[in-house]
Amino acid sequence: MTGTFRPGDGPARRGARDGTRDTLWTPGEQILWRYRDHGPGLTGPVHICRPVTVVQDTDELLAVWMAPGTECVKPVLADGTPVHQEPLATRYTAPRTTVRSRWFGSGVLKLARPGEPWSVWLFWDRGWQFKNWYVNLEEPRVRWAGGVDSEDHFLDIAVYPDRSWKWLDEDEFAQAQRTGLMDPRQARRVREAGRAAVEVIDAWGAPFSGGWPDWRPDPSWDVPPLPEDWDRTPAHMTS
C-alpha cells in the first residue's frame, strides 16, 4: 500500500507485553520509527522520528525501509549546531531542540525482533554495494497504531561482511552514565544486551544469516511523508 500517511492509520496493536499481537502491518504500509529522549517508561519527548515503509511484519520480525531523501526529525543543539559537534563533556547537558531534515545517502533497512533490546540496520554504498550491519542497542520497541517507539542506549556494534565486528560509541555510553542519563543498573543491562548481540553475531544467527543484503525495495513504493503531529503521544501502546 502506498499513498499519504496519516498518524494512526493501520491496525492498532492490542497485544500482550510478551510482544504477541492480533494484527500485523502489511508490506508497503507506512509507519513511524521513533526514539524518545530518556525518561522512565518511554515517557520522554520524541526527538527522533523517521517515516518508514513496512517490508515484513510477523511474530518473529519487523522489517522496515527508510528511503533516501526521507524527511525526518532529529535533535540539534539550541543554536542549530549538530549534536556530534558538541564536545563530549557537554554533549548531553547542552540545551537542545529538534529540526526537520532529509536523510542523505543510501536508504536503511531496519530489522527488529519483538522484545529484543536492539535492532539491526543494513547500510549500502552507491550501486547497492553492501557496506555493513549496525546493531543499535535500544529499549525494546513499543508498538502503537502508527509505528514503534524506543529509547537509544548509546552503545552500538558495527558488523562487516567478513563477519568481523567492533564496538562503537563507547565514549558516548560512558559519558551518558557520567551525566546521569543512565544509572549503573541500566548500564549493566545494556552491556549484557550487547554481549548477547555479540553471541548472535559470532554464531552468525538471524538476521545476519538471512540474506538481507540482497534485499531490494519495491520500486513502486512512495517515500513516506513526515506528518505534522509526528511527536504525538498515542493513547495506547503495546510491546
Walk me through the domains of the chain, giving residue ranges and CATH numbers. 30-211 (2.40.380.10)
Measured between alpha carbons, how far is 225 from 205 in angstroms, rounded to an integer?
34
For residues 45 and 34, the answer to whether their CB atoms sit within 8 Å is no
Taken in order 151, 47, 58, 128, is the CA torsion positive or negative?
A: negative
Locate cell 529540526: which residue?
A: 99
- The residues, any chain, with a CB within 8 Å of residue 165's CB and separated by 6 or more, are 157, 158, 159, 198, 201
Cell reading at 151 = 529509547
Give the CA distances from residue 12 to residues 7, 8, 22, 40, 132, in Å, rounded to whole numbers and listed in that order: 11, 8, 9, 24, 33
At residue 20, the pLDDT reads 40
At residue 234, the pLDDT reads 76
Measured between alpha carbons, how far is 5 from 150 in angstroms, rounded to an integer?
21
Residues of the chain with pLDDT under 70: 1-22, 235-239
Measured between alpha carbons, how far is 133 from 158 in angstroms, rounded to an integer?
6
At residue 239, the pLDDT reads 54
